[in-house]
Structure 1
Amino acid sequence: MEEEDSPAVDKRFYFIEQYVLKTMKLKPDRWHKCLSVEEQKQVIQDFLDKSDNTTLVVSLNAAGQLIPTFGFAGYSKNKSVYFIKRNQGALSSDTMQTDLLYGDMSPSPLEQFSAFVEEVAAPVLLNARNHSEWPHVVSQDVKRHVQALKNSVFVVAGQVKGKTLLPLPPGSERLEQTALESEKREDLLDKSVIHVIESMVIEWSHQIHEVLKRDSSEPLLLGINPTPHMELNFWKNRYADLECIHEQFKSPKVARMAELLDTMDSSYYPAFRNMLQDVMCATSGLCAIGCVCLFRYTVPIV
């Protein structure tokens, strides 16, 4: 193998090679095999030399081969590495680190984005010290938008897995202490805490309503002829989703939320209680429906 300092070695290729191999924990022979295919080598060369090509993505295919492309492909089961030019133009070997944005992307982009929002973006943007010089209105608006983003990502991540996840209000980790204080003196309880909980009850009610209104006949309305297997899967998934919601209602933090609403005689407490009852009734009703469906589709039709 030629040394890095050899004139025959393009240091720009070497930079990309080192990052790809280190990030993906691969041996150099994988990179050599990648460059042995002229079309793939040309993709990297064009990215380095041509201003029109601003993105390079290197990913592993099902056979374990490195494949470079000019953009993000669809679903991938393996980690990918990306390089994005900060400015259009050819790249210089001396400024690769400063002229490029580069990193790795998980095979589950939504989970990676969720982790980024939860562990990086939210802590930075919600830290009061980072916007101490901002106007109060701007600071509060940013906090609301960040919390809304966290909730949306949390809900979507659950939907991808077939689950209805109920986002908790900001500061939920302090709910237990707040509940204890409210038992001592109601006048010391911050009314903003109740307002946040009430807002979350409204959001949950919309989510649960969407779950409860789903019907196994929906495929028919879309012109699809559902098979018995699809019917069974519908009820199985519905039961699992309702069980997931019920388990969330039983969590200590949600129980504290209910206690606070009850203690403060909130007008939203009956709605909270009704939501729980609706979920419990739907779950118990599905047990009987599930038995009927199972009997109907497992007994041979004569």
Structure 2
Amino acid sequence: MAEATSTSSNRGGLGSGGVRVPQEPSLKTGVVLSDERVDFLREQAFCVLRVKTDKWNRFIGAEENQKIILDFLDHIWTNRLLLFTGPGGTLHAGDAQTSPPWKTKLLCVLKRGVKRIARQGFRHQLRLGEVPGYPMEHLPVVISEVG
């Protein structure tokens, strides 16, 4: 599990090289964990994908996954988020161009006519759906319900 900690060997000085190098701002797990929108996605992953707490913590602890989720929520260039499990129950995230390399159930999260998901009333701005791992097997049922 990744923890957001910061240590500095510089201790207020310039160090032996005489140059202070600013650290790259990185995503902090605490910021993501305190976001109610991310909590909502976590709850959905627990319910739909049957993700266990340790798998979610490992998933959200990775900077790449934090970036994917926050990009989806806060930026206009992405309007779809896919969450799916892999071998061993590991959780993965992607967008519409991402296709899981294995047959697995997908949790699809779509923006409902908005570009950015607000921190207030966000549940009404999202559309959720689940797609079974073998969607063609369920097609006759869907067709019979529509017809």
TM over 0.5: yes
The equivalences for 1:216-295 within 5 A come to none
Aligned to 1:65: 90
Indicate conservation of the 8 Å contact 2:49/2:84, yes or no. no
| Higher RCO by CA contacts (8 Å cutoff, separation 6 or greater) | 2
The equivalences for 1:192-207 within 5 A come to none
Partner of 2:107: helix, strand, or coil?
Answer: strand
2:42 pairs with 1, 4, 17, which one?
A: 17
Q: Is 1:55 aligned to 2:80, yes or no?
A: yes
Partner amino acid, structure 2, of 1:30: K
Partner amino acid, structure 1, of 2:58: K
- Percent identical among aligned pairs is 21
How many residues end up aligned between the 2 structures? 114
Indicate conservation of the 8 Å contact 1:47/1:56, yes or no. yes
RMSD of Structure 2 on Structure 1 (CA): 1.7
Q: Is 1:46 aligned to 2:65, yes or no?
A: no
Partner amino acid, structure 1, of 2:93: P
Query: Which consecutive segments of 4 or more residues in structure 1 shift more than 4 A?
Result: none
Partner of 1:43: helix, strand, or coil?
Answer: helix
Q: Is 1:84 aligned to 2:130, yes or no?
A: no
Indicate conservation of the 8 Å contact 1:87/1:99, yes or no. yes
> What is the distance in 2 between the residues matched to 1:41 and 1:23?
20
Indicate conservation of the 8 Å contact 1:84/1:101, yes or no. yes
Aligned to 1:99: 125
> What is the distance in 1 between the residues matched to 2:140 and 2:111?
25
CA deviation vs aligned residue, 1:110-146 (integer Å, no higher than 9, x gap): 123332222x312xxxxxxxxxxxxxxxxxxxxxxxx
Partner amino acid, structure 1, of 2:80: T
> What is the distance in 2 between the residues matched to 1:22 and 1:15?
11
Which structure has more helix as a fraction of its residues? 1
Partner amino acid, structure 1, of 2:143: V
Note the residue ranges of structure 1 that are not aligned, 5 or more in a row.
1-7, 123-302
Computing the radius of gyration from Cα coordinates, the structure with the larger value is 1
CA deviation vs aligned residue, 1:210-235 (integer Å, no higher than 9, x gap): xxxxxxxxxxxxxxxxxxxxxxxxxx
1:58 shift after superposition: 0.4
> What is the distance in 2 between the residues matched to 1:32 and 1:70?
20
Partner amino acid, structure 2, of 1:82: C
Partner amino acid, structure 2, of 1:20: A
The equivalences for 1:97-246 within 5 A come to 97-118=123-144, 120-122=145-147
CA deviation vs aligned residue, 1:159-218 (integer Å, no higher than 9, x gap): xxxxxxxxxxxxxxxxxxxxxxxxxxxxxxxxxxxxxxxxxxxxxxxxxxxxxxxxxxxx
Partner amino acid, structure 1, of 2:37: R
TM-score (norm 2): 0.70
Partner amino acid, structure 2, of 1:77: K
Partner amino acid, structure 1, of 2:41: I
1:78 shift after superposition: 1.6
Which structure has more strand as a fraction of its residues? 2
1:39 shift after superposition: 0.5
1:27 shift after superposition: 1.9
Partner amino acid, structure 2, of 1:91: I
Aligned to 2:53: 28
Aligned to 1:163: none
Deviates more, 1:107-116 or 1:26-35: 107-116
Note the residue ranges of structure 2 that are not aligned, 5 or more in a row.
1-32
> What is the distance in 2 between the residues matched to 1:43 and 1:67?
10
Partner amino acid, structure 1, of 2:113: N
1:74 shift after superposition: 5.0
